[in-house]
Structure 1
Amino acid sequence: MKYAGMPFGMWTLFAPSFRNQLTAVFGYGTNTAKAITKKAKPKYREIISELPEFEKGDRFKMNLVNCAMIGAFILSMPERPDVERLTEYYAKSMMTKPLKWFCRKSGKNKFTPKDISGMKATATLKAADRNPYSWNMEFYEYPDGSGYEGRFTKCGICVLMKKLGLYDLTPALCRLDYTMSEAGGVTDFVRQYTLASGGPYCDCGYKKKGFVKAGTEAGR
């Protein structure tokens, strides 16, 4: 994968936040946080350079680029973080004002015909059959009309985290799904399994906030 383009843009957008949260979450001094960030940048570029290009229509390239960035920062820290603190660090680093705006904008389009069509196209693509760093997903609409679920049987983040020797920390990245759903403001995120925790698949369920099934009454 080429560094120019999305990877460069993502570093420019998020690296300051990743640096600042090194102090806020882990308590590193300002100079140490700067040193970690300086070390992480070439590591990030190295990780990106070893990844294949994503095919047109694959919506998950950004997910893997984000994984490369957090991986580079972890590998540049003086001490390996635990999952709990890394979960907090990753969420706070990612949830910048631009990403919160993106989540709200995406929330407005959730469950529209265009959104449903995009999910179905992703399920049909099965990009991980050709690129191990992408995802394979099955799409299920809830029969009661309350939303839908993407069920992932292959996960590029799991593959990359294994390659980086960080697989045990993967659940910290999975938790961001809840945070982004909450920021969107229109869905309740539900999940039973993740591949990273030994489940048969990763289920990403999005239920409409305040959904009441047609023909029912509150309190019935």
Structure 2
Amino acid sequence: MRWTGMPMAMWVLFAKSFEKQLTEVFGYDAKTAKAIRKTAKLRYKEIIAKLPEFEKGDRFQLNIIGCAMLGAFVLCMPRRPDTESLTVYYEKAQMTPLMKWFCRKSGKNKFTPKDISGMKATATLKAADRNPYSWNMEFYEYPDGSGYEGRFTKCGICVLMKKLGLYDLTPALCRLDYTMSEAGGVTDFVRQYTLASGGPYCDCGYKKKRLQEDRA
């Protein structure tokens, strides 16, 4: 994957936030946090350079870029974090004002014909059959009309975290699905399994908030 383009743009947008949370979550002083960020940039570029280009129509490029960035920072920290603290760190680093705006905007399009069509196209693409750092997904609409589920049988984040020697920390990234759904304002996120915790698949279920409230 080329550094110029989306990977570089994501670094510009989020690197300072990742640096800030090194101090707020892990207690590193400002000088150390800055040094970690500088070293992490080099590691991030190395990780990106070893990733394949994603196919046109593959919607998961940003997911793997976010994983690469987090992995780079973790590998450059003086102390290896535990999963619980890294979960907090990743959520705070990712949920910038811009990201919250993006989630709200995406929420407005949830369950529209375009959204449903995009989910079905992703399920058909099965990009992970050709790119191990992408995802394979099956799509299920709930029969009661309350929403839908994406069921993932292959996960690029799991593959990359194993490659980086950080697989035990993968659940820290999984938790962001709940946070982004909440920020969108229109769905309740439901999940039973994750591949990272030994499940048969990762289920990402989105229930319509309004429908649930009307039934209450």
Q: TM-score, normalised by structure 1?
A: 0.97
Other-structure match for 2:77: 77
Alignment of 1:28-43 (within 5 A): 28-43=28-43
Does residue 165 (structure 1) correspond to residue 165 (structure 2)? The answer is yes
Question: Structure 2: how far apart are the matches of 1:218 and 1:108?
Answer: 21
Which residue identity lines up with residue 155 of structure 2 in the other structure? C
Query: Matched residues, percent identical?
Result: 79
Whole-Å Cα distance in 1 between the matches of residues 200 and 160 of structure 2? 19
SS in 2 for 1:139: strand
Q: Give a deviation string over 1:64-101, Cα, whole Å, max 9, x none.
A: 00000000000000000000000000000000011100
Matches within 5 A, 1:32-71: 32-71=32-71
- Counterpart secondary structure, 2:14: helix
Tell me the distance in 2 between the aligned counterparts of 1:47 and 1:15: 15
Deviation of the 1:197 alpha carbon: 0.2
Distance 1:150 1:180 in 2: 15
- 1:122 is matched with 122
Runs of 4+ in 1 over 3 A off after TM superposition: none
Kindly state the Cα deviation for residue 211 of structure 1 after the two structures are TM-superposed: 1.2
Q: Which residue of structure 1 aligns with residue 20 of structure 2? A: 20
Report the residue type matching 2:105 in the other structure: K
With normalisation by structure 2, the TM-score equals: 0.98
**Are residues 1:99 and 2:99 paired?**
yes
Alignment coverage as a number of residue pairs: 216
Task: Provide structure 2 residue ranges, at least 5 long, that are not aligned to the other structure.
Answer: none
Matched, 1:134 2:147: no
SS in 2 for 1:150: strand
One-letter amino acid of the structure 1 residue matched with residue 134 of structure 2 = S
SS at match of 1:144: coil
